[in-house]
Amino acid sequence: MIVYNSLASRGVNYGWQATFAGYQKGYPTKEAMGTLTFTILTLEKLSDNSAFMIGKWHLKRSTDEPNGHFTLLWKKIKGQWVIVADHTS
């Protein structure tokens, strides 16, 4: 899986562990993490096993409220829907 980590502006991360480690480094406390909400704008099923989603994200923290958009490519693997590509800006 390839995940683009735009929150840290460090480019492309490969795999779940690298992505998780980046989030832990960027958001070391609950206050730094804030409250993240999502709004799905479109969800298009491309086939029985793939879908494309576009949405907005909003992060509420005591010091600021960054926000942006995301695109996700979902794939059904072994009966479960998983994100196989994520671009967030």
User: Hey, is 31 helix, strand or coil?
Assistant: helix
Which tens digit of pLDDT belongs to each residue from 18-35? 888 888 888 888 888 899
Residue 87's nearest CA partner among 49, 52, 60 is 52
User: Hey, is 13 helix, strand or coil?
Assistant: strand
Q: Kindly compute the dihedral angle of the four CA atoms of residues 15, 12, 39, 59, in this order, to the nearest 10 degrees.
A: 100
- The residues facing 37 across adjacent strands are 58
Mean pLDDT over each residue of the chain, to the nearest integer: 87
Which tens digit of pLDDT belongs to each residue from 58-79? 999 999 999 999 999 999 999 9
CATH code 3.10.450.50 for 2-88? yes
Can you tell me the mean pLDDT for 37-46? 98
Give the H/E segment covering residue 17. helix 16-26
What pLDDT was estimated at residue 9? Answer: 56
Domain extents for the chain? Answer: 2-88
Q: DSSP letter for 20, please.
A: H
What pLDDT was estimated at residue 50? Answer: 98
